[in-house]
Structure 1
């Protein structure tokens, strides 16, 4: 199990409610512009945790918009939708299924003593390695009080 931060704003349009309603997550970039992101999302496994976030480069505050658990991988979603390399024409078909558990927004303020290099959190999609942030996400997901 791993934890991933994921953007949910597509050209200024907030997509979190669509993700919550559809029980999924999609990148929002076309494949030609974001091949590396598609590779990253294709590695998500059932049981991985995804949190929707907003963060500006260099900011020590993460606005978390939701937390969920992957229930079905990208490749399984494609196959179940009858997609293959000849028929895929719409990037909205590239998604993973997610059970969204936390839908309330909250903020994580990273202490000055942790994670000096926070530029990764402004990215569209990344694996979260900072223990402080992981602990906060897991605490909210499983309702663990500090």
Structure 2
């Protein structure tokens, strides 16, 4: 069997697997040239990523003239009427670490890692700052 035929079969199987996700709307049906068959044209709408509402226990953080929201250790930013999940901006400071933070040592310096973000403690000022992790 040729490679091209295999890819065609795979494509057909994928399309058949996704077909229950697509629903036809009666207003989008258009008759086919043949009277006995109907082709349904389907309009698929994509939802914007993110949340429509923030979790109840969230905090607003203003940084560089932009609003961010922190809830359960995750950072969100308002966009297109929704809240998109984002990484915290470098330089922003917080009084306490998000849940799930773990210690990481790089070149003798202690950082706190949460997902792909790194925080560094500034004891005199009493806050954690989001920083880039140095190579090493």
TM-score, with normalisation over the residues of structure 2? 0.19
TM-score, with normalisation over the residues of structure 1? 0.18
Higher alpha-carbon Rg: 2
Which structure ranks higher in relative contact order (CA pairs < 8 Å, sequence separation ≥ 6)?
1
